[in-house]
C-alpha cells in the first residue's frame, strides 16, 4: 500500500532527509497484518496507545508549545518521545517532568527551544535523554545539496535574477499564523 507524508523544508534538500526519516520510522513499524487497516486516530487517543511519538512538523503559531504537560501526560506510560522538528514545539520543562516522573521511558531530541543548548541545561546530562546538536540534516548528500542550492542562488542573484529558493514573506507570514 503506498504511503504519503507531507514535508516542508528547503526545496529538494532537507525534504529528502525528512522523508527518509519518516520512511524509516514507517518501515520500522510496518507489519503485514496491519496493511489496509490504517485509520485516522485523534491525537489524544493515539498518544495513549503509541509506544513512540515522533514530532515532525513545521513551527507555526499553532505548533509553538503544542506539546506540554497535558499532551505528555496523555502518552502511554513508558513511551518514548522524539523531537526532530523544532524545539519550540515542545515545552521542555514539561518534558523533563514527564521523564523524571517515570511517565516517559526516554526522549530523543535533535532540536531545542534554545540552540545551542545551554551548558547548564538538564537535557544535556539527563540519563534518559539522548540529545543531538541539531544534526538531523548531517548527511553527505544533504549537505552537498545545501551547498549546491546556496551556490546556485548566489550565482542567480549576482546575475540579476531571482534565486530559485527565496523566502516569500507573504507565504511565510501565512504559515506562521
Strand order, beta sheet including 104-109: 52-55, 79-83, 104-109, 129-131
Question: What's the confidence (pLDDT) of residue 34?
Answer: 56
pLDDT of 36 above 60: yes
Of these residues, 30, 62, 115, 141, which one is catalytic? 115
The alpha carbon of residue 159 and the mean position of all alpha carbons in its chain are separated, in whole angstroms, by 36
- Can you give the residue ranges of every domain in the chain? 41-137
Of these residues, 64, 105, 126, 134, which one is catalytic? 134
CATH number of 41-137: 3.40.50.720
Could you tell me which residue, 162 or 89, shows the higher pLDDT? 89
Of these residues, 71, 86, 92, 103, which one is catalytic? 86
* Host H or E run for residue 55: strand 52-55
pTM: 0.65
Average pLDDT over residues 6-24: 51
- Per the annotation, the verdict on 8 as an active-site residue is no
- Per the annotation, the verdict on 70 as an active-site residue is no
- Per the annotation, the verdict on 115 as an active-site residue is yes
Q: Are strands 79-83 and 104-109 parallel, antiparallel or unpaired?
A: parallel
pLDDT of 68 above 90: yes
Amino acid at each position: 500500500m503506498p504511503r504519503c507524508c507531507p514535508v516542508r523544508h528547503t526545496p529538494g534538500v532537507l525534504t529528502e532527509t525528512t522523508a527518509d526519516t519518516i520512511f524509516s520510522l514507517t518501515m520500522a513499524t510496518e507489519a503485514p497484518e496491519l496493511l489496509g487497516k490504517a485509520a485516522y486516530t485523534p491525537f489524544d487517543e493515539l498518544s495513549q496507545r503509541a509506544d513512540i511519538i515522533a514530532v515532525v512538523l513545521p513551527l507555526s503559531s499553532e505548533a509553538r508549545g503544542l506539546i506540554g504537560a497535558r499532551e505528555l501526560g496523555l502518552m502511554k506510560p513508558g513511551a518514548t518521545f522524539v523531537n526532530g522538528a523544532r524545539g519550540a514545539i515542545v515545552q521542555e520543562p514539561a518534558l523533563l517532568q514527564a521523564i523524571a516522573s517515570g511517565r516517559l521511558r526516554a526522549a530523543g531530541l535533535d532540536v531545542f527551544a534554545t540552540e545551542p543548548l545551554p551548558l547548564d541545561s538538564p537535557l544535556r546530562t539527563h540519563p534518559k535523554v539522548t540529545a543531538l546538536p541539531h544534526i538531523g540534516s548531517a548527511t553527505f548528500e544533504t549537505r552537498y545539496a545545501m551547498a549546491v542550492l546556496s551556490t546556485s542562488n548566489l550565482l542567480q542573484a549576482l546575475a540579476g535574477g531571482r534565486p530559485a529558493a527565496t523566502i516569500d514573506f507573504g507565504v511565510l507570514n501565512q504559515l506562521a499564523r
